[in-house]
Amino acid sequence: MRKIFTSILLLTLCTTLIFAQDRVREKNMKGDWKMIIDVDMDEVSEEMEEESWFGYMISGALTGLVENVLDEIDIKMKFMDGGKLKITVIAFGEEEIEYGEWYINGEGQLVIIDEDNEHDDNDVWMMNGDNLVSYQLRSGGRLERQEVYLKRL
pLDDT above 90: residue 109: yes
Q: Is 13 helix (H, G, I), strand (E, B) or coil?
A: helix
Mean pLDDT for all residues in the chain: 79
CB atoms within 10 A of CB 132: 25
- Domains of the chain, each with CATH number or no CATH: 22-152 (2.40.128)
Whether pTM exceeds 0.75: no
pLDDT above 80: residue 15: no
- In whole angstroms, give the CA distance from residue 34 to residue 139: 29
One-letter amino acid at 26 equals E
Query: Does residue 22 or residue 18 have the better pLDDT?
Result: 22
Enumerate long-range contacts of 85-93, CB under 8 Å, 24 or more apart.
85/112, 85/114, 87/114
Per residue in 127-147, pLDDT (tens digit) is 999 999 999 988 887 889 999
- In whole angstroms, give the CA distance from residue 79 to residue 98: 12
Per residue in 62-107, pLDDT (tens digit) is 777 777 788 889 999 999 999 999 999 999 999 999 999 999 999 9
Q: How many residues does the chain have?
A: 153
Range 42-62 average pLDDT: 64
CB atoms within 10 A of CB 59: 19
Estimate the share of the chain in helix, then strand, then coil, as percent rounded to the nearest 5: 35, 40, 20
- In whole angstroms, give the CA distance from residue 137 to residue 152: 24
Residues 6+ apart with CB under 8 A from 42: 63
